[in-house]
Chains A and B, each alone.
Chain A
Amino acid sequence: MIKQLLIWVNETPEFHAAAAWTIDLARILSAQVYAVYIMPADARAKKGKRVNSEQEEKAWQVLYEIEDEAFEQNVRVSLLLETGDPLQRLCELSASYKTDLLVVSANCPVPAAELVRHSPKPVIFYKQPKEE
């Protein structure tokens, strides 16, 4: 039984499409969605605090857009803003929140084989259908 879905989100249309699909799936399954935005670990050190807070605001905007979409569809959602290596964080979050499925965009920058090998749960790579 799939009850909890973890979706990796960012500001790209491909990731947004994957999130929309995940919300729809969660609605059908009456499942809860954990939406996570992962910021690079070195953002603060490289670019300074001010840039980091701009990045944080952008990240929250993406997360709250997802939250609003989930709310419209009556889907339970929790927002997570994380920092670090995406592969590592996704696997850790999947384990700590005991999610049943990880959904990422097919355009995900982490190599698919790596993600599948390390993820404690099944992974769906969502590819947006081409418009006819």
Chain B
Amino acid sequence: MLKKLSELLSRSSVILSLQASEKTKAIAELAAPLIAEGVVIDEKEFVASILRRENLESTGIGFGVAIPHARTNAVKTMALTFGRSSEGVDFSSLDGKPSHLIFLIAAPETMKREYIWTLAKLSSLLRRDEVRKGLYNAQSADEVLAVIEQYERY
């Protein structure tokens, strides 16, 4: 059963003001809620997996959005975190612009189908102006979740 994006993102995994402005630090900051929730069982391996992908791919998809991701045994169950950065973080986006809206996807090695589906759904959703605008303007974690819930297709 494929979960909706709003079901994969918990309130405690929303960071409305990311402190880090450098990619590796931003990834560590985004990973922290997943570690606290017990979703990530091996912090070192999880961050290393994310960075391995970052070295081979540009996870910045343009429009000020980045979706760093990893599928690894260091993760127990699939989950998302969201971070918003006013300064922006360089995720080597093809349009050369920094990313302000960052979703981190963590998935267990065995959940390839769900992982690809979530990446696709999130990428498609975040290309919509109204979704990005909603996320920029959200004042609370509840508002972030409400924006995603409102626009994601069932």
Q: Which residues of A contact B (CB under 8 A)?
A: 50, 53-54, 56-61, 63-65, 67-68, 70-71, 74-81
With most chain A CB atoms within 10 A of its CB, the pick from B57, B58, B125 is: B57
Cβ of B124 within 8 Å of any chain A Cβ, yes or no, is: yes
Q: Which residues of B contact A53 (CB under 8 A)?
A: 124-125, 128, 153
A85 to chain B, nearest CB (A): 20
Alpha-carbon separation in the docked complex, A61 to B119 (Å): 8
CB nearest neighbor in A for B127: A56
> B interface, how many residues as a size bin?
10 to 19
Q: Of A59, A68, A70, A79, which is within 8 A of B116 by CB?
A: A68
- The CA of A116 and the CA of B112, in the complex, are separated in Å by 37
User: Is the Cβ of B57 less than 8 Å from the Cβ of A76?
Assistant: yes
Check B119 against A54 for contact (C-beta < 8 Å): no
Chain B interface mostly = helix
Chain A residues, CB < 8 A from B53: 71
- Rounded to whole Å, the gap between the CB of B87 and the closest CB of chain A is 24
Identify which of A54, A60, A74 contacts B123 (C-beta below 8 A): A60
CA gap between A50 and B151 in the complex, in Å: 11
Task: Return B18 CB to nearest CB of chain A, in Å.
Answer: 24
Is there an interface contact between B58 and A78, defined as CB atoms closer than 8 Å?
yes
Q: Does B56 contact A (CB under 8 A)?
A: yes
B1 part of interface (Cβ distance < 8 Å):
no
Specify which of A50, A57, A75, A77 is in contact with B120 (CB 8 Å cutoff). A57
Complex Cα distance A77/B17, Å?
30
Distance in angstroms from A94 CB to nearest chain B CB is 15
B124 contact from A60, A67, A70, A79, Cβ within 8 A: A60
- Determine the distance from Cα of A56 to Cα of B153 in the docked complex, in whole angstroms: 12
Closest to B152 in A: A53
Say how far B132's CB is from chain A's closest CB, in angstroms: 14
Is the CB–CB distance between A56 and B124 below 8 Å?
yes
Shortest B5–chain A CB gap in Å is 12
> Can you list 21 residue pairs at the A/B interface with Cβ under 8 Å?
A50-B153, A54-B153, A56-B123, A56-B127, A57-B120, A57-B153, A58-B120, A59-B120, A60-B120, A60-B121, A61-B116, A64-B119, A65-B116, A67-B57, A70-B56, A70-B57, A76-B57, A77-B57, A79-B61, A80-B94, A81-B127
Contact across chains for A60 and B119 when beta carbons are under 8 A apart: yes
Per the 8 Å Cβ criterion, residues 34-70 of B in contact with A are: 53, 56-58, 61
- Does A68 contact B123, Cβ atoms closer than 8 Å? no
Shortest distance between the CB of B32 and any CB in chain A (Å) = 24
Q: Is the CB of B116 within 8 A of A76?
A: no
